[in-house]
Amino acid sequence: MATIAWVTDREFECEHIGQRVRIESELVFPADHLPEQPPRRRARRCSHHLECNLRDTPSCVWAGTHPLYNPLDD
Ligand code: SF4
């Protein structure tokens, strides 16, 4: 049976809220009888996306309220 887990991809200081946050991926790990198959990413999120989504001002792509702003873009 496949296993599903959220894993941290990256941590960074988000200037928008002034806190350290995590970008996480939801990975589906293959069943034991398929050991050569790599994990598949099903979704990504920011650890603070819910709080930012409830703000009155647009936040970023991870909150879903500002599709043109990604704080991870260098
Ligand atoms: S959702 Fe975007 S703005 Fe909010 S903490 Fe995460 S990265 Fe920063």
Could you report the per-residue pLDDT of 26-73, keeping only the tens digit for each? 999 999 888 889 999 999 999 999 999 999 999 999 999 999 999 887
Residue of 15, 21, 47 to test ligand 1 pocket, by largest number of atoms within 8 Å of CB: 21
pLDDT at 74: 57
Q: How far apart are CA 53 and CA 30, in angstroms?
A: 32
Q: Tell me, using a 6 A CB cutoff, whether residue 61 lines ligand 1.
A: no
In the chain, the amino acid numbered 72 is L
- Name the residue with tokens 């599903």: 4
Output the CA 56–ligand 1 centroid distance in Å: 14
Atom of ligand 1 nearest to the CA of 62: 1
pTM comes to: 0.82
Contact of 45 with 37, CB cutoff 8 Å: no
Q: Considering Cα of 7, then 10, then 11, then 15, what sign does the dihedral take?
A: negative
Give the tens place of pLDDT for each residue, 45-55: 999 999 999 99
Q: Tell me, using a 6 A CB cutoff, whether residue 24 lines ligand 1.
A: no
